[in-house]
Amino acid sequence: MGVDDYDDLAEPWCFSLFTGNEKIHTIVVVGILYPFFVSWVLIGTLWYAEVYAQGPACFKHPQQSWYFVLWLILFYVWIIAYTTAITISALIYYRHRDFEAQYVRLIEQYGGNPAPPSPIFQMQGLSPVTIQNFPVQEVRTPEQAEYMCSICLEDILKGERMRVLSCGHKYHLPCVDNWLLRKCYCPNCKRNFRRNTNDPFLTL
- Residue 124 and residue 9 in contact, taking contact as beta carbons nearer than 8 Å: yes
- Give the per-residue pLDDT at 204: 41
Torsion of Cα atoms, 1 then 135 then 147 then 103, to 10°: 20
Statement: residue 7 has pLDDT above 70: no
- Give the per-residue pLDDT at 17: 65
Host H or E run for residue 27: helix 23-28
Helical pair 34-53 and 62-106, crossing angle rounded to 10 deg: 150
Confidence of residue 5 (pLDDT cuts 50, 70, 90): very low
- In tens, the pLDDT along 137-188 reads 888 876 666 778 889 988 888 888 889 998 889 999 999 999 998 888 999 9
> What is the full DSSP assignment across 152-181?
TTEE--TT-EEEE-TTS-EEEHHHHHHHHT
Mean pLDDT value across the chain:
78
- Give the per-residue pLDDT at 157: 86
- Residue 172 and residue 160 in contact, taking contact as beta carbons nearer than 8 Å: yes
- Give the per-residue pLDDT at 26: 77
- In tens, the pLDDT along 37-80 reads 999 999 988 988 887 777 666 666 666 677 788 888 999 999 99
Statement: residue 197 has pLDDT above 50: yes
> What is the full DSSP assignment across 50-90?
HHHHT-GGGSSSHHHHHHHHHHHHHHHHHHHHHHHHHHHHH
